[in-house]
């Protein structure tokens, strides 16, 4: 690996980590604002579909039963639960129960559905993630109730199922992205405009701009671009290890940015989950083989 390629890859990885860490913070801000989860979903699907229009030429969405399954799990199901969760839980809680539990749930589901057996080191990592998740689940407060954590676990389950289905059907990352974006726009937006009491006109323009730009542009498009660039330059294992930083970055950033409280138990949960996610990526095993 050339030094310049490695540097570019790690820089791209850091941008992707920042994007996904910011998603936790911005979504929590949205959960405390005027918009309801359905409004945020509508913004995400509308803006995302527009931004991805140049990509559709090269990565056509799947408009079939498999595309429907991907859109319902990785789009509508995931977003409905995750945005509802941020009305009931803090970014500190979500830092562990969202990016932390996703590799845990994905690995277990891949083992059960695809037969992908984790190595002993990965099992150890998954066990640490489970411990971190349990610590966070028992660290409830006035700002974070059990319902929000349940919603987060349901959103993680939807995303894990989406990940396993995408892997089983061998769909590319970009084609999966366009399938989810356009599938969600086609399925959700008609029901939203006809059946929901929209608060888009009631929300301040600053809130609309923040949520529309971040959820539809940063989370859907920018994060994917830099993630794919990082995987191309440094490989999926190293990029997976960098993604293990998301619980730490988002959890710690929530304290100065959102004014949230970080208890010793929550801090322990973040540290344990981050270590577990690092082991679960398989990078440690790769290093051991290389020696």
Classify burial at 111, counting beta carbons within 10 Å of its beta carbon; exposed 0-12, middle 13-18, buried 19 or more: middle
- Long-range contact set of residues 138-145: C-beta below 8 Å, sequence gap at least 24: 138/265, 139/93, 139/263, 139/265, 139/266, 139/269, 141/90, 141/261, 143/89, 143/90, 143/260, 143/261, 144/88, 144/89, 144/90, 144/92, 144/93, 145/88, 145/89
Cβ-in-10-Å burial (0-12, 13-18, 19+) of 85 comes to: buried
Q: What is the pLDDT of residues 102-119, one digit of tens each?
A: 888 888 888 888 887 878
User: What pTM did the predictor assign?
Assistant: 0.90
pLDDT of residue 22 exceeding 90: yes
Instruction: Summarize the confidence of residues 263-267 as an average pLDDT.
Output: 91
Domain ranges (residues) in the chain: 3-290
Displacement of CA 63 from its chain's centroid (Å): 23
Element (H, E) at 138: none
Tokens of 240: 């997976």
Q: How is residue 169 written in tokens?
A: 């059907």
Q: Lowest-pLDDT range, 108-112, 169-173, 218-222?
A: 108-112
pLDDT in tens, 54-104: 988 888 898 999 999 999 999 999 999 999 999 999 999 999 889 888 888
Radius of gyration of the chain (CA): 18
Asked if the model's pLDDT at residue 1 lies above 60, the reply is no
End-to-end CA distance of the chain: 16
Q: How far apart are CA 29 and CA 10, in angstroms?
A: 29
């Amino acid at each position: 690996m050339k030094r310049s390629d490695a540097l570019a890859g790690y820089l791209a990885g850091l941008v992707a980590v920042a994007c996904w860490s910011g998603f936790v913070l911005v979504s929590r801000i949205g959960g405390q604002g005027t918009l309801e989860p359905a409004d945020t979903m509508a913004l995400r699907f509308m803006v995302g579909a527009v931004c991805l229009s140049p990509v559709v030429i090269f990565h056509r969405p799947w408009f079939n039963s498999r595309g429907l399954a991907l859109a319902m799990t990785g789009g509508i199901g995931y977003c409905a639960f995750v945005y509802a969760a941020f009305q009931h839980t803090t970014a500190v809680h979500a830092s562990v129960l969202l990016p932390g539990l996703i590799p845990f749930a994905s690995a277990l589901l891949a083992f059960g559905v695809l037969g992908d057996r984790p190595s002993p080191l990965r099992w150890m990592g998954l066990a640490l993630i489970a411990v971190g998740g349990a610590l966070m689940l028992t660290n409830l407060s006035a700002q974070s109730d059990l319902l929000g954590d349940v919603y987060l676990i349901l959103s993680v389950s939807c995303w894990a199922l989406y990940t396993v289905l995408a892997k089983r059907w061998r769909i590319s990352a970009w084609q999966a992205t366009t399938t989810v974006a356009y599938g969600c726009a086609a399925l959700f937006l008609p029901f939203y405009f006809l059946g929901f009491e929209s608060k888009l006109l009631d929300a301040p323009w600053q809130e609309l701009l923040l949520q529309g730009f971040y959820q539809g542009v940063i989370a859907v498009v920018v994060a994917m671009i830099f993630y794919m660039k990082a995987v191309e330059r440094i490989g999926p294992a190293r990029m997976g290890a960098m993604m293990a930083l998301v619980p730490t970055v988002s959890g710690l950033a929530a304290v100065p940015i959102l004014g949230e409280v970080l208890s010793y138990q929550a801090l322990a949960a973040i540290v344990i989950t981050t270590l577990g996610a690092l082991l679960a990526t398989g990078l440690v095993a790769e290093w051991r083989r290389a020696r």
